[in-house]
Amino acid sequence: MVLNNKGPVSEATRQRVLKAIKELNYHPYRFARVLATRRTGNVGFILSEKHFNRAEPFYTRIFLGTEFEARNFDYYVLLTSIRSTFRRSDLPRFLKERNVDGVIIAGRINDEWIRYIKGREIPLVLIDYVPENLRVPCVLIDNVEGGYEAVRYLLRLGHRRIGFLGGSPGHPSIQGRLEGYRKALAEQGIPLREEWVITDLPETTIEDGYRGMQRLFGAKDLPTALFAANDAMAIGAMKAIKEAGYTIPEDFSIIGFDDIEWSYHTDPPLTTMRVMKEEMGALALRRLIEIVEGRNPLEEKVLVGVRLIERRSCRLLSSGET
């Protein structure tokens, strides 16, 4: 009772117990406790193999955020990867055997997985992905606000001819960022130039950015600035821009999104919108614990903001230029 802060305990015995704990260097034995309470004190953290192997540590930093926060709540987190395609046979063991109190999934994933977990009534929180037809609590990047701010920044630098380099339009994050882009332009009464908006790439990788930029070069005239929907694509685009003989930011200003480590090392260093990865992970854990403990079990999306990181890939347009 002393340990768990429940039930009535007189202050005197409380102190006596505490003292004994100290003297004996007593630690409660987690596994016995589990057996008695049916609470495992574990949470599962699932990443698709694709996301785990991403060249940049985006989702692993999110994991780091949860793991760190988990320490405060005395939870262990079991990290595992799954294939993108749903197969019962490679269900994480901790799901099959219910060795977790709840699960966090980061990144886009086959909805079958989500449906399965919901079906088994295992508490679930999603990070950076929201399925179309399923109600699940999510922790999301504020993509539309972020996209809006990114474009606003280019606008402030005097750009009026701004392209958008997005990935597959099926990706909700991309849609949000595109929406922000649209909103910022509309607000200034700048018409959208369809040929400067590239959204039909297979994925959102460096390669896609590279190809997307090459496609953009096909337009009959070119923008002066570019908003890439993530840093990987921005990096691919920079490569294409350089290969075409242009320089950054003289000929093109470019801003990314995510703030992955490598953005700092590009030439020039990439201006971008920083996503608070650790914070997202921590938030998801707190949310999950709330659900596990029955508090606040409403479906709910929580948005976490982004921040402009100014580096050197964007330039101020002098007043004569357009």
Which residues form the interface with a second copy (CB under 8 A)?
Answer: 27, 29-32, 34-35, 40, 42, 52-57, 60-61, 63-64, 67-68, 71, 74, 76-81, 93-94, 96-99, 206, 235, 239, 260-262, 265, 267
Tell me if 169 sits within 8 A of 159, measured CB to CB.
no
Nearer to a second copy, 56 or 145 (CB): 56
Query: Can you state the angle between helices 206-216 and 231-243, rounded to 10 degrees?
Result: 50
Phi, psi of 33 (to 5 degrees): -60, -45
Check residue 6 for interaction with DNA (CB under 7 A): yes
Answer for which of 22, 23, 25, 29 binds DNA (CB under 7 A) is: 29
Q: Which option in a second copy, DNA, none does residue 24 bind, with CB closer than 5 to 8 A by kind?
A: none
Task: Give how many residues touch DNA by CB under 7 A.
Answer: 19
Cα 74 to the center of its chain, rounded Å: 24
Nearer to a second copy, 136 or 280 (CB): 280
- Indicate the pairing of strand 197-198 with strand 253-258: unpaired
- What's the sign of the alpha-carbon dihedral 59, 60, 64, 70? positive
Check residue 294 for interaction with DNA (CB under 7 A): no
C-alpha dihedral (144, 147, 149, 151), degrees to nearest 10: -140
Q: Closest separation between CB of residue 34 and DNA, Å?
A: 8
Check residue 21 for interaction with DNA (CB under 7 A): no
Nearer to a second copy, 54 or 183 (CB): 54
Report the run of H or E that residue 124 belongs to, with start and end. strand 124-127
Answer for which of 1, 18, 55, 134 binds DNA (CB under 7 A) is: 1
Nearer to DNA, 26 or 264 (CB): 26
Check residue 36 for interaction with DNA (CB under 7 A): yes
Query: 78: closest CA among 111, 40, 116?
Result: 40
